[in-house]
Structure 1
Amino acid sequence: MSLLTKLKDAQKDAMRAKDKLRLGAIRMVLAEIKQREIDNRTTLDEAGITSVLVKLVKQRRDSFTQYTDAGREDLAEIEANEIIVLETFLPQPLTEEEIITLIDDAIANTGAAGMQDMGKVMGIIKSKAEGRADMGKISGLIKQRLSA
């Protein structure tokens, strides 16, 4: 079943269950997907939909941090609940060992020798790890490997 179909089915289930929080989060995702399709005049594939989900989760995490720092626990709780809903549609996260294996394979495949090859390595890893791992963390690990 495609990710878009899962989202639409989850939207129907949330409507039937009268789960306003879940319904709102799913509608937000579907609206963002539709907006990207209209802007780019294309139909998003699984990777495109996953990137939309990753972007929205990242935005929610940033908002959660800001609300928590500002003492707005009521708004922070809403963001945290939306993160939980959105993460149910993301692929299974990579383990630490899988990330290191991906990095080592990408370095070997590109023949990366130093920091100037960082972009090549990130390009390979991004397609495999998008939505399954924090790309900032992966970037830091690649820098450690290439500078060693």
Structure 2
Amino acid sequence: EKKELSLIEEYLPAPMSDDEVKSVISEIVARTGAASMKDIGRVMGEAMKTLKGKTDGNKVQEIVKSLLSV
């Protein structure tokens, strides 16, 4: 099983760092004009489309919330 896992991992894209994810989400927030937690649905939708398969959805939600609650 460990051999299978290492073989599969070779072909998977490297996960994005938190800083990379935050940068992408910051661009989405700016582009959509999101200003408060009321806009979380719009930002999450765009972020999940953009970041699908590149990072964990929970991480995306955490970063979106932190950016919109400032």
How high is the TM-score relative to the length of structure 2?
A: 0.78
Count of aligned residue pairs for this structure pair: 69
Structure 2 residue aligned with 1:107, among 3, 23, 29?
29
SS at match of 2:11: coil
Deviation for aligned residue 1:128: 2.0
Deviation for aligned residue 1:123: 1.5
Corresponding position of 1:125: 47
Instruction: Give the counterpart letter for 2:43 in structure 1.
Output: V
Post-superposition CA distance 1:103-140 (Å, at most 9, x none): 11010011111112111111211122111111101101
Considering Cα pairs closer than 8 Å and 6+ residues apart, tell me whether 1 or 2 has the greater RCO.
2
* Identity of matched residues, %: 33
Corresponding position of 1:138: 60
SS at match of 2:28: helix
Instruction: Give the counterpart letter for 2:68 in structure 1.
Output: L
Matches within 5 A, 1:12-23: 22=4
Structure 1 residue aligned with 2:13, among 63, 80, 91?
91
RMSD: 2.1
Richer in helix (by share): 1
Displacement over 4 Å in runs of 4+:
none
Instruction: Give the counterpart letter for 1:99 in structure 2.
Output: V
- C-alpha distance in 2 between matches for 1:87 and 1:130: 17
- C-alpha distance in 1 between matches for 2:51 and 2:26: 14
Post-superposition CA distance 1:25-77 (Å, at most 9, x none): xxxxxxxxxxxxxxxxxxxxxxxxxxxxxxxxxxxxxxxxxxxxxxxxxxxxx
Rg larger in structure:
1
Corresponding position of 2:69: 147
How high is the TM-score relative to the length of structure 1?
A: 0.41
- C-alpha distance in 2 between matches for 1:87 and 1:120: 32
